[in-house]
Amino acid sequence: MRWIIGAAACAVLGLVGCNASSALSDDTKAFTAGVAAFKAGDRTALDTAMTTLKVRSDDPAPCSPEAFAAARRSAFRQILEPLDRSAILSMPEEARFVFLSGAIGRGVEDAASPAQACKDQKDVGLLAVQDTVERVAALKAVIETTKSWHEALAARHGKQLDARLMAAARMLAANHFDVGYLQLRY
Summarised one tens digit per residue, pLDDT across range 149-170 is 999 999 999 999 999 998 998 8
d(C-alpha 154, C-alpha 177), whole Å? 24
Domain membership flag for residue 17:
no
Domain membership flag for residue 160:
yes
Domain membership flag for residue 16:
no
Summarised one tens digit per residue, pLDDT across range 112-152 is 677 777 777 777 888 888 888 888 888 888 889 899 999 99
Q: Check residue 119 and give its pLDDT.
A: 74
What's the chain's length in residues? 186
Domain membership flag for residue 182:
no
Domain membership flag for residue 181:
no
d(C-alpha 107, C-alpha 87), whole Å? 20
How many CB atoms neighbour CB 86 within 10 A? 8
Residue 129 half-sphere exposure toward CB, CA atoms < 13 A: 13
Domain membership flag for residue 180:
no
Mean pLDDT score across all residues of the chain:
79
Q: How many domains does the chain have?
A: 1
Q: How confident is the model at residue 49 (pLDDT cuts 50, 70, 90)?
A: very high
Q: Check residue 186 and give its pLDDT.
A: 32
Summarised one tens digit per residue, pLDDT across range 65-76 is 888 888 888 888
Domain membership flag for residue 80:
yes
**Is residue 4's pLDDT more than 70?**
no
Domain membership flag for residue 153:
yes
- As a whole number, mean pLDDT of residues 95-110 equals 75
Do 165 and 97 form a contact (C-beta atoms < 8 A)?
A: yes
d(C-alpha 63, C-alpha 128), whole Å? 9
Residue 84's domain comprises 2-11+26-174
